[in-house]
Amino acid sequence: MERKIFCPKCGETVEKTAKCIREHPEKAALFSLGIGFLLAQLPLRLVMAALASLVLTVIKPAALIYGLFRLAEDVYNHPRPAAAAPDPDEQVSP
């Protein structure tokens, strides 16, 4: 039994797309060259550096806030020990 992979976005199967590429290789080659050209024009190194800088700037405060919430959760979820009852044999000095 042949398994068909379906793309939910475009509504096509991978086999149908592969068949179209085999029928029109020049169109597929031009399309891939165009996409490659557009990707080459994007400043990907600058975008990745900015993203890394943003992540490294945000990670410390986020970790601190996460730790505070976990601490608060632990404090409020654990039962408090009951107060010890006074010992009746112990004498209280005034």
Distance CA 90, CA 88 (A): 6
Domain ranges of the chain: 1-42, 43-77
Residue 11 Ramachandran class (φ > 0 left, ψ -120 to 50 alpha, else beta): left
Distance CA 90, CA 27 (A): 96
Across 40-44, average pLDDT: 86
Do the Cβ atoms of 32 and 25 come closer than 8 Å?
no
Distance CA 14, CA 6 (A): 6
- Is the entire prediction scored with pTM above 0.75? no
Across 29-58, average pLDDT: 90
Distance CA 31, CA 42 (A): 17
Q: What confidence tier does 59 reach under pLDDT thresholds 50, 70, 90?
A: very high
Virtual torsion, Cα 34, 41, 53, 71, nearest 10 deg: -20
